[in-house]
Amino acid sequence: MPALLRRIFDFLFRLLSRRSVQGLEHVPRQGPYVLVSNHLSRLDAPLIYGLVGGEHITGWAAEKYERHWLFGTIMRLGGGIFIRRGEVDRGALQAAVEWLRAGKAFGMSPEGTRSQTGAMTRAKTGVAYLVNETGAPVIPAGVWGTETAVGQLLRLRRPQVAVRFGRGFTLPALGEGERAAGLRRNTDEIMCRIAALLPPAYRGVYTDHPRLKELLEDAQQP
């Protein structure tokens, strides 16, 4: 069923949007890896799933959607893990850890919820926790255009949406004494890697982060 769901999403985005995809070759065909992206719209996950979805990848979805006739059904078809937002859901965290340790891939938006500003917001540290517990590499992705896509479709226009995947990277394991600070530092590293893939207007709270400036400078080197 996940393979069918992927084909459906891929077909719909090909049909209804002008989709731009860059860097897809950076995404491994199998896990383990954590695929991370910014979060602008409910369309972000279907857009990415249409490109890389399958039996090998799952992700979190807010528990409030579990009984939703559409979103709940789609998440169950895709093997999604429902998570309680606003608290530490240890069951959902452990399910994601076990999924990655089984050699599979996990997709998530570290911000935890859709941006209300149209640009990146400060991320939660759950993503760094998953990486630290499993040692899985991280594949960053930047998404844009989805925040206005529905409005354009309602006006009978095909929206321009874009996904840019970056090269995978690993993070250093954290010592017990630096856990809280280390999780925040590693989370910022992940988010700056995402921000470097986005047009400047979408970088939000990470626009002036020193690590982002380093990444952008490195990208300009011959």
Q: Tens of pLDDT along 165-219? A: 999 999 988 877 778 899 999 999 999 999 999 999 999 999 999 999 999 998 8
Strands 160-165, 138-144: pairing is antiparallel
Q: Could you tell me the strand order of the sheet in which 18-22 lies? A: 18-22, 160-165, 138-144, 33-37, 105-108, 57-62, 81-83
pTM for this entry: 0.91
Count of alpha carbons within 13 Å of 3, Cβ hemisphere only? 1
Amino acid occupying residue 150 = V
Give the pLDDT confidence score for residue 66 in this predicted structure.
Answer: 57
Residue 162 forms beta bridges with which residues? 20, 144
For the stretch 70-112, pLDDT in tens is 565 666 666 676 676 666 668 888 999 999 999 999 999 999 8
Name the pLDDT band for 220 (thresholds 50, 70, 90).
confident
Integer Cα distance of 192 and 186 in angstroms: 10
CATH of domain 2-215: 3.40.1130.10
Give the pLDDT confidence score for residue 78 in this predicted structure.
Answer: 64
Query: Average pLDDT over the chain, rounded to whole?
Result: 90
Q: What are the distances in angstroms from CA 123 to CA 64, 140, 159?
A: 20, 14, 27
**Domain spans of the chain, in order of start:** 2-215
> Pick from 137, 7, 184: which is nearest to 78 by CA?
7
Name the pLDDT band for 137 (thresholds 50, 70, 90).
very high
Amino acid occupying residue 13 = F
Integer Cα distance of 85 and 105 in angstroms: 21
**Is the preceding omega at residue 200 within 30 degrees of 0, hence cis?**
no
Amino acid occupying residue 99 = W
